Structures are given as structure tokens and as C-alpha cells.
Amino acid sequence: MRSVTVLGGGIVGLTISRELRRRGIEVELLESRSIGSGATGASTGILTPPQHSRTPFYQLRTLAWKNWPQYAASLAAETGIDVGYRRCGAIDIRERTIRNPQREVKKLRDCGGRVEVLSQDQIRELLPDMVRSPEAGLRVEMEARIDPLATTEALRRSCHGAGVSIRENLGPIRIEPLGEGGISLVASGDIELSQPSEQHKVILAAGWESVSAALAMPPTPLPLDPVPGEAITLDLPAPPHMVHFNLLREGFRDPSGNRSIYSWIPAPDGTSWLGNSVASGHRDGGRTEAWSSAAVEPTAEGRDELVEVARSLFGAGVESRITDHRAGIRPKATRHGGPLLGMWPGRPQLWVATGHYRAGLLLGPATATMVVDSMLDGAPIPEQFQLPR
């Protein structure tokens, strides 16, 4: 293999492109919109350590968590961009934590750091601007955050400096079967594309857009669901720790089981971010090509939800402190086991790396190493990550 086309300019596509160039492979990265316009738009940069390493997915998370400090340092050395990696810890005041903090402590016993129960007075001292008065909570030492926008720019600059050819705003690109085990790339406009061959592979790393890109490729569709998320920037100084909390909203449908979890995050510039785990606009089973472009923009419904959430934490009038609002779609794998990684069944020219849901920032570098090791050296990829045949 001499060259690779990577489809998708998000965190996963960029980290894979960078890793391939570091191994001497020629790389062309193609993005239908602009670099970092997918799931990264909804990210608030949380890096959560795994609670155990008993499954391949959590083993990958463990490796990613351990390697991120060095990865951040290498990006800074290459590009001069501080990606904002800080091991700042978190305060957990979710309803289930308040009800039984000791049970939550037991769940985190293997996270690698100190976990302590906080009293109401301790929480009030740590979060003096909060209007809530939770009876208990946890302080979790081993949580970190990065700046997703700075990370995207650092990866772009690293790829460009290494010689990756980056082409963006190309419109949709489709992968179609060709002959016995071959594939071809088809653009929506008059765009010339390098075609796959025995020595030129394709990696599909386009997040949720991977579904529409590969609709013609059996087995199809990819087992992915679109999960939109939104975040706002507040002109409020954040505490040193991240804060995770709930808001039990009347009439709130929560099919995913985690949609009511919110986070207040210290932003790198001294302000703060507030985001949700899953936006209100989530359409269950909405596997349509329209999702590839329609749900990337912030919504009025999402803003109203986040304003309501912010009021529950800071009181009335907080909406006047909103300075930015952004959104993105996360690709959630619908089969158990983790992201979709590896060679496409029966198509040796095509590889896939998507389905990271809310862990793309954490898992991007480790995913790149796993996929590139397999492509170049034949290293095995756990069966749980491979596409179902």
C-alpha cells in the first residue's frame, strides 16, 4: 500500500491521516463540508477515564486516556497550538449520585484517581455561584478536558505540515461497489477523485455521514444512529472542576437513557461551556440522508433547553450571558461493542473507522494507531469492533 484516501475531516479522520503520514504513506483527506464541522461542533472537550478495562472497548479507552497527555504535547511541539489538555477533575451532582454517593464511589474504584464524597457545605464552598443546594455529590480526580476547536486546528496544521492533501467543501462523496471486491468513489459535482486500487486504499471516517456515503455497499446500512448535541458558551467564569448534573424536565422523553445529563465546563479562555449529552431534537430511528446536513446547525429548541438548564444552575437572567451556540451530530454505533473499525467485509480496498459516539476526541489517537497498525502490519482488530457480515 502506497497511498490512502481518508473520507471525513473530523477528529478521527484527522488523527488517522496524521498517523498514516508518520508511517510514510501518501494521504489525501476529503471532507464534504468544512474540517471539524461534524460531531466536534457539539463537543465540550470532556475526557473521561474508563471505569474498568474488562472489554476491548474499555481497553481502547484506557489506552487512549493514558496516551492523551503525550499526544497533546506532541501536537503542541509540532504546531505551536496548546490544545488545552488539563486534568481538572469533576464534581458530580447528578440525581443518582445525590441519592446514593457511596454506590457511585464503588463504580469508580478502578478509575485510577481519588474519588471523595462531598457534603452540601463543601459543594456550596466549591460552587458559590450555583443556586442549587444538592445534599451530596462526588469529587472525581481523574477527569480531563481539552479544547476541541484548538485540537481540530492543531491536527489540521499537523497534517498539512506533514504533507497530507486536504480538500474540503466537496459536497457528498459516495462509495460504490465495483466488480469482484472493488470499489469506486463518486462525487456529487465535477470533482476529480483518486480511485482505489490494490495500492491505494480508502478509509471511511466520516462520522454519521458514513451511512449515506456507503448506502450502496452491502452490508448496508451501517449500524449507526445520528445523535445531535448542542452547547452554549457563557460569559461566566467556570470553577476549576467540571460539573456534571441533571435537570428532570416535565414531559421529557429520554429514549437513550442519558439525555438529561448536562455538563458545565471551564473553557480555555476563562469563560465556560454548558452542553447536553443528547439534544432534544433527537429523532429515533431517523436514518435518512437529510440528517447528514440538516442537524448540524444550532436549533431554537436546543437553545431553549440549554437556557432552561442554565437557569436551574445560575438563576434568572443567565440567558443574557450567552455568547455562542453550536451544534453537531455524533455517530452512535447501534450494535454492542464500541466503534466500527476495520476492513469492510469482502472489500480489501475499503476500511472503516466511525461510530465513536461521544468519545471521538478521547479515542481518536488510539483508533488511528489501531487501524493503521492493522492496515500496514496486519495487527488484529477485536472482533467486537468489526463490521457485522
| pLDDT, tens digit (0-9, with 9 covering 90-100), for 341-351 | 999 999 999 99
Query: Domain 90-143+224-330 is classified in which CATH homologous superfamily?
Result: D-Amino Acid Oxidase, subunit A, domain 2 (3.30.9.10)
Average pLDDT over residues 98-117: 91
- Kindly report the CATH number that applies to the domain delimited by 3-83+148-223+335-385: 3.50.50.60
User: Range with the lowest mean pLDDT among 49-63, 99-113, 251-265, 275-289?
Assistant: 275-289
Decide: pTM greater than 0.85.
Answer: yes
* 81 DSSP 8-state letter: -
The residues of the chain that CATH labels 3.30.9.10 are 90-143+224-330
CA distance 353 to 334: 14
Q: What is the pLDDT of residues 124-174, one digit of tens each?
A: 999 998 999 999 999 999 999 999 999 999 999 999 999 999 999 999 999
Q: Please, are residues 66 and 121 in contact by the beta-carbon 8 Å criterion?
A: no
Looking at residue 335, what is its pLDDT?
A: 87
Looking at residue 220, what is its pLDDT?
A: 81
Residue 123's pLDDT band (cuts 50, 70, 90): very high
Looking at residue 101, what is its pLDDT?
A: 95
Average pLDDT over residues 256-276: 81
Q: Which residues contact 327 (CB under 8 A, 6 or more apart)?
A: 41, 42, 228, 229, 230, 231, 279, 295, 296, 297, 298, 299, 302
The residues of the chain that CATH labels 3.50.50.60 are 3-83+148-223+335-385
Closest CA to 32 of 133, 150, 170, 144: 170
